[in-house]
């Protein structure tokens, strides 16, 4: 009888979490430039091979660390209740809660700096974070257009840009309360929906 080959030790969730926490701590204290695989490994108390088995390079590691802080472990999933206005408000409320935390703002600012500093890392981070979220938002808007909830001739790419741009603007400006951010986002949805249903 043939032996079933072993695939190696199962990966420890505790190790995985320690690595992501170490990345976030380094981002907060030193910024993206200070995140290096050997430094992360040392801070997490693991060998570098533990990192490289999970992530091929720094950019996807940082992307996962920030996404996990946000509670997002894969491509963006927008609500789809059949009412695009309600769904956008729900999603943006979640963004407001995330952006209401000084720690989360600092993590997101570190990524913004990274995209400005290194074009190669910027491309990798955009493909890991920005592009999938933008695409998911466009798909949800397209579904709303197909169902007749919004105008079919609307420039949905521009609408997605405006929504994501508003969240990025909140990252780059002074930290506000969840309530203040929510109010701004509600005003954005009011304006967009007015145009999308006109």
Q: What's the pLDDT score for residue 9?
A: 47
Radius of gyration for the alpha carbons in the chain, expressed in angstroms and rounded: 20
Domain boundaries, the chain: 13-69, 72-196
Q: Is the pLDDT score of 17 beyond 80?
A: yes
Q: Is the pLDDT score of 1 beyond 60?
A: no
Extract long-range pairs of 124-128: CB within 8 Å, 24+ residues apart.
124/57, 124/59, 124/60, 124/63, 125/59, 125/62, 125/63, 128/59, 128/60, 128/63, 128/64
Contact 188, 194 (CB under 8 A): no
Model-level pTM?
Answer: 0.75
Alpha-carbon distance of 38 to 32, in angstroms, equals 14
Alpha carbon 50 to its chain's center: 24
Query: What tokens were used for 132?
Result: 């999938």
Contact 65, 27 (CB under 8 A): yes
Percent of the chain with pLDDT over 90: 46
Map 54-111 to HEC letters.
Answer: HCCCHHHHHHHHHHHHHCCCCCCCCCCCCCHHHHHHHHHHHHHHHHCCHHHHHHHHHH
156-172 vs 178-196: helix axis angle to the nearest 10?
Answer: 160
Supply angle C-alpha 93, 98, 104, rounded to 5: 160
Q: What is the pLDDT of residues 77-119, one digit of tens each?
A: 788 999 999 999 999 998 898 888 888 888 888 777 767 766 7
Place of tokens 């981070």: 125
Average pLDDT over residues 66-80: 72
Q: What is the pLDDT of residues 24-39, one digit of tens each?
A: 999 888 888 889 999 9
Superfamily for domain range 72-196: Tetracycline Repressor, domain 2 (1.10.357.10)
Q: What is the mean pLDDT of the chain?
A: 85
> Which class is domain 13-69?
mainly alpha
């Amino acid at each position: 009888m043939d032996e079933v080959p072993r695939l190696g030790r199962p990966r420890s969730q505790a190790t995985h979490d320690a690595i992501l926490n170490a990345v976030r701590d380094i981002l907060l204290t030193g910024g993206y430039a200070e995140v290096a695989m050997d430094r992360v490994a040392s801070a997490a108390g693991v060998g570098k091979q533990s990192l490289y088995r999970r992530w091929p390079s720094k950019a996807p590691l940082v992307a996962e660390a920030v996404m996990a802080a946000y509670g997002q472990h894969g491509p963006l999933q927008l609500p789809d209740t059949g009412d695009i206005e309600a769904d956008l408000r729900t999603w943006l409320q979640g963004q407001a809660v995330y952006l209401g935390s000084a720690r989360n703002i600092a993590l997101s600012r570190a990524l913004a700096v990274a995209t400005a500093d290194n074009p190669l890392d910027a491309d990798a981070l955009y493909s890991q974070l920005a592009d999938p979220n933008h695409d998911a938002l466009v798909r949800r808007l397209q579904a709303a257009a197909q169902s007749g909830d919004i105008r079919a001739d609307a420039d949905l790419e521009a609408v997605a840009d405006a929504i994501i741009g508003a969240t990025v603007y909140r990252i780059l400006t002074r930290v506000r309360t969840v309530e203040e951010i929510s109010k701004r986002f509600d005003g954005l949805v009011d304006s967009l929906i007015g145009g999308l249903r006109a």
